[in-house]
Amino acid sequence: MRDVVRIMLAPLLWLAAFSAVYGLQGLLCGHDVTGSIAGLPLPRVILIAAYGLAIALQCGVLAWLCRTRAAVGSRFVGFVSRATGWTGLVATIWSLFPVALLSICG
Amino acid sequence: MNALERHRRLSAIWASEPGFRGWFSTVNHNDLGRMFLVTAFFFFLVGGLLAMLIRAQLATPHSAFAGPEIYNQIFTMHGVVMMFLFAIPTFEGLAIYLLPKILGTRDLAFPRLTAYGYWCYAFGGTMLLVSMLFGIAPDSGWFMYPPLSDAIHSPGINTDFWLIGITFVEISAIAAAVEITVSILKYRAPGMSLDKMPIFGWYALITALMILTGFPPLILGSVLLEVERAFGLPFFQADMGGDSLLWQHLFWLFGHPEVYIIFLPAAGVISTVLPVMCRTTLLGYGWIVAAAVALAFLSFGLWVHHMFTTGIPHMGLAFFSAASTLVAVPTGVQIFAWIGTMWRGRPELHLPMLHILGFFVTFVIGGLTGVMVAVVPFDWQAHDTAFITAHLHYVLFGGFVFPIFAGIYYWLPHFTGRRRFFRLGEIAFALVFVGFHVTFLAMHWVGLLGQRRRISTYTPEDGWTAINLISSVGSFILAFGIAMILLDVLLHALSAGRGRRNPWKAPSLEWAMMTPAPAYNFASLPHVTSRAPLENDPGLPLHLATGGGYLGTPRDGRRETLTVDIASGRPEMLVVYPANTRLPIVMAAITGLFFLSLLLKFYWTVPLALVGVAALAWRWVWGLGMQEDPVPQPIGCGLEVPHAAAVERGPGWWGSAFLLTANATFFGSLLFGFAFLWTVAPGWPPPEWLTPSWGALILGLVGVAAGSLGMRLAMRQNRRGAAPSMGLALALAGTLALAYGCASLMLRAPAPTEHAYGATLLVLGGYGLFHAALAALMVVFTAAQVRRGFTSRTRRSVFSITCLWTDYAGFTGSIVLLAAHLSGLSP
């Protein structure tokens, strides 16, 4: 089961991060959060921080998958899990990129 | 023992009852796979007939063929039948029939569950068909949006048929998904490590996991909408704290992955059949597995692209637009791997290959229009037009029906043991291909000209007459082609001559047995050393038939197979299956009584049906118990493995774990719904918040801890050979305390018919109460097993299963209690 989880880890993390950031955006809009930090609107700062955290976590998972590939039972599982690891990272960067550019609640 | 004698003895052990009676008592995957497929294709014919009625209605302006009320039922039922009663059950049927064969084993993990799933599907589907015959079929579109489908705007029973019938049918999908997941992970031939697993196995595994996580949001939505309609709990009524957009979220959380749940098994068929047709091996096996996994996950991040016109903020739209464009990448990886496979091999234009080529053309067009509608501004223009209807048909017909026809023609010699004689199939393919493209290219066109979907008529001044007529003519050509395919298959099954084994010279294990397949599949189980076992060892069928593999000697009239370690394929335990029984059909009938009682509002029979299901479930698992310790069993090839009853994590534990995965998704969706209403719905805050009861909260949480600790104590006592009564008593007290906490929450929730807040608390409390009661029942069951001598230090698997359910009930129960009480503190 560990091998199956390894293959699914990064996409699962993407799904969690994607849902969390979408939910966070909903909360910020639903509760009408305002304010600013260093001249930037607070909701934007929070969303970009969440985006950065999601990317950092994906990088961590990918690094872990690459570092521990020798410990995996088969080369196949190592390869597929690294491929899905890259998928998770690229999907996070691409699908959550709107937090940096678009109007948040409009 | 020679091969013939072995065949006779194994057949006597594994065969179903002879004749008509065998249909009702069989638990064999060969029978049930065929029954699923025949029933699914019956529904396909019904759905096709409804499609013809739609096209007859739209062929001319001002058509008087059907009035709007009937037309609404026709298009709703067309979608419902095709999505729920044809596509998913076809996958289930194909997987149920094929998986044990391609994985090199004798049956699926839980044969009685397969039968139960089939009967739930058959009864639920019949319920929907009957509604159509009486003219009271669902009529609010296949995605049943409130407020159109609520009790105010659809007061009849039509919508209830959808909500209750579909939920009943989805029990079948969940059952099949649990079955398929556990079978693929554990029930493989020895030696078949993950990298040697046939590609169809990977696709089926991913699809089954998607069903487990994709279907529960829809089941939840159906439950909430039915509860709103029946008892007035306002989950979707904006003026009472509900929000109809919640339905759309729950529906499309299911609905978009559903598209991939339909596509991925078909892609598994393509990946299996294409290399054989091209006389080569699949290019990029690892890439394809990674792409299928990526596709499965990404498909869960697309649901809002069905809601681009609902007024969601731009940033939310952009998230889903980005994810929707991204999903084209893993799809493209698979398409290019298949093209590369064709390039590397020598394609032969047999009939399955023609359908695969049909798939390529159609699905790629459907994928490209999919990328178009993933772009928000284009979607705003095309939304709810015939363009979208055409797009989804290109994806679903191209991505599912063509590959399934390819698969049917590919495996037909396996099903029947015959070789093709009539040549209707090629003409039929041409008619289907031409008819399909004429129908739906025209529909793209008329959609871009502004024709809305689901309209029952139009005027000549709209300028759509000629295009609609062309589309209708195309659809009748398509129908004629499909009728010819079915006739071709029927003639083949009834009258073609005997064929030789493995006519395609395929390398996979399903061809290493006689055809049609015997009830036991393999006389002895193979040891797999590569992804193409038949190619590497052409003598394998004979070797297995003469008992050269594992479990080659039938013993004690038992239906035996092996499970393996998930990653390495090392033999792990011996499983003895139950024999033929009518228990599944009886239990499905009682389950049907539960749903029918809700539908007809005979509420006094609801608890009776529930008690009946619980009693039958008790009997179901009680029969698995053993009163003597099993010794390690020789399995051939000089190996011995433990019996499944003598391990901590037997098949029942794995089945429970994946069933709870689906259950957890249901619970997660419920929490999402609570958070969504609280955050987004317009009618909040509610007029009254829950008054927290610290006593009930603390008692419930203490119960959670006691339940979990009690089961662990019982396990430890049992392991030491002591009576586990103290631990079980503590676990029972804990689960009852949790049940009290949840029941108290339900009683104290603010009036549930006045605001969605109270309604949500009631449902949350009900969820916690139900699971606490279930856990208590399981603890009592475990105690009964202990008392009757069904457990020992060796026979301990029942403890780990009960512990799993107790932990789950405790985990979800504590979240229910905390979420409800914290909300009460919020003002």
Concatenated DSSP letters of B217-263:
HHHHHHHHHHHHHHH---SS-GGGT--HHHHHHHHHHHHHHHHHHHH
Sign (positive/negative) of CA torsion B75, B80, B81, B86? positive
Say yes or no for a CB contact (<8 Å) between A98 and B319.
yes
Residue type at B318 in one-letter notation: A
Min CA distance, B654 vs chain A (Å)?
Answer: 11
Rg (CA), chain A: 17
Of B194, B287, B315, the CB nearest to A77: B194
What six digits make up the tokens of A82?
A: 């690294």
Residue B632 confidence (pLDDT): 87
Task: Give the integer Cα–Cα distance in Å for B341 and B270.
Answer: 11
Cβ neighbours of B314 in A, within 8 Å: 102-103, 106
Of A25, A79, A95, the CB nearest to B322: A95
B615 Cα distance to chain centroid = 25
Contact with chain A for residue B322, Cβ under 8 A: yes
Min CA distance, A56 vs chain B (Å)?
Answer: 19
What six digits make up the tokens of B440?
A: 């739906």
Say yes or no for a CB contact (<8 Å) between A76 and B290.
no
Min CA distance, A3 vs chain B (Å)?
Answer: 6
Contact with chain A for residue B310, Cβ under 8 A: no
* Residue B286, CA distances (Å) to A81, A104, B174, B195, B275 in order: 10, 39, 28, 8, 15
Q: Which residues lie closer than 8 Å to B588 by C-beta, 6 or more apart?
A: B116, B119, B120, B122, B123
Would the pTM count as exceeding 0.80?
Answer: yes
Of A1, A22, A74, the CB nearest to B193: A74
Cβ neighbours of A73 in B, within 8 Å: 193, 567-568
Min CA distance, A53 vs chain B (Å)?
Answer: 17
Residue B447 confidence (pLDDT): 96
Cβ neighbours of B286 in A, within 8 Å: 76, 79-80, 83
Task: Give the integer Cα–Cα distance in Å for A46 and A60.
Answer: 21
Whether residue A38 is predicted with pLDDT greater than 90 in this model: the reply is no
Q: Which residues lie closer than 8 Å to A61 by C-beta, 6 or more apart?
A: A9, A10, A13, A85, A88
Say yes or no for a CB contact (<8 Å) between A1 and B680.
no
Provide the β-strand partners of residue B639: B636
Say yes or no for a CB contact (<8 Å) between A73 and B568.
yes
* Ranges of chain B with pLDDT below 70: 827
Cβ neighbours of A80 in B, within 8 Å: 286, 289-290, 293
**Across chain A, what does the average pLDDT equal?**
89
Say yes or no for a CB contact (<8 Å) between A76 and B323.
no
Give the DSSP per-residue string, B691-756: ---HHHHHHHHHHHHHHHHHHHHHHHHHHTTS-THHHHHHHHHHHHHHHHHHHHHHHHS--TTT-H
| Nearest residue to B301 (alpha-carbon basis) of B326, B277, B278 | B326
Cβ neighbours of A92 in B, within 8 Å: none
Min CA distance, B618 vs chain A (Å)?
Answer: 29
Residue B94 confidence (pLDDT): 94
Q: Which residue of B has its CA nearest to A102?
A: B315
Say yes or no for a CB contact (<8 Å) between A18 and B679.
no
Rg (CA), chain B: 27
Give the DSSP per-residue string, B469-482: HHHHHHHHHHHHHH
Q: B145: helix, coil or strand?
A: coil
Angle between helices B402-416 and B244-277 (to 10 degrees): 60
Cβ neighbours of A83 in B, within 8 Å: 286-287, 290, 294
Q: Look-up: residue for tokens 């930090």?
A: A37
Residue type at B336 in one-letter notation: F
Say yes or no for a CB contact (<8 Å) between B315 and A102.
yes
Contact with chain A for residue B293, Cβ under 8 A: yes
| Nearest residue to A59 (alpha-carbon basis) of A98, A85, A30, A38 | A85
Chain A interface test: which of B184, B186, B319 (most A C-beta within 10 Å): B319
8 A C-beta contact, residue B451 and residue B383 = no
Of B194, B297, B323, the CB nearest to A74: B194
Say yes or no for a CB contact (<8 Å) between A14 and B316.
no
Q: Tens of pLDDT along B368-393?
A: 999 899 888 999 999 999 999 999 99
Eight-state DSSP code of residue B401: I
- DSSP H or E run through B673: helix B651-680
Q: φ and ψ at B39, to 5 degrees? A: -65, -40
Say yes or no for a CB contact (<8 Å) between A80 and B286.
yes
* Residue B743, CA distances (Å) to B194, B693, B777, B802, B807 in order: 46, 12, 16, 22, 19
Residue B723 confidence (pLDDT): 87
Min CA distance, A57 vs chain B (Å)?
Answer: 17
- What value of ipTM does the predicted structure carry? 0.92
Say yes or no for a CB contact (<8 Å) between B326 and A12.
no
Whether residue A73 is predicted with pLDDT greater than 80 in this model: the reply is no
Of A83, A90, A91, the CB nearest to B290: A83
Contact with chain A for residue B685, Cβ under 8 A: no
Say yes or no for a CB contact (<8 Å) between A80 and B290.
yes
Q: B637: helix, coil or strand?
A: coil
Say yes or no for a CB contact (<8 Å) between B286 and A102.
no
Cβ neighbours of A22 in B, within 8 Å: 316, 319
Cβ neighbours of B566 in A, within 8 Å: 1, 3-4
Cβ neighbours of A1 in B, within 8 Å: 185, 566
Chain B interface test: which of A19, A29, A80 (most B C-beta within 10 Å): A80
Cβ neighbours of A101 in B, within 8 Å: 318
Min CA distance, B770 vs chain A (Å)?
Answer: 28
Provide the β-strand partners of residue B564: B571
Task: Give the integer Cα–Cα distance in Å for B594 and B340.
Answer: 52
Q: Which residue of B has its CA nearest to A2?
A: B567
Residue B533 confidence (pLDDT): 92
Q: Which residue of A has its CA nearest to B681?
A: A30
Of A73, A83, A103, the CB nearest to B567: A73
Average pLDDT of the residues in A7-11? 92
Cβ neighbours of A89 in B, within 8 Å: none
Task: Give the integer Cα–Cα distance in Å for B803 and B614.
Answer: 19
Min CA distance, A37 vs chain B (Å)?
Answer: 21
Q: Tens of pLDDT along B158-198?
A: 999 999 999 999 999 999 999 999 999 999 999 999 999 99
Of B193, B286, B314, the CB nearest to A103: B314
Task: Give the integer Cα–Cα distance in Å for B62 and B58.
Answer: 9
Residue B827 confidence (pLDDT): 63
Q: Which residue of A has its CA nearest to B186?
A: A1
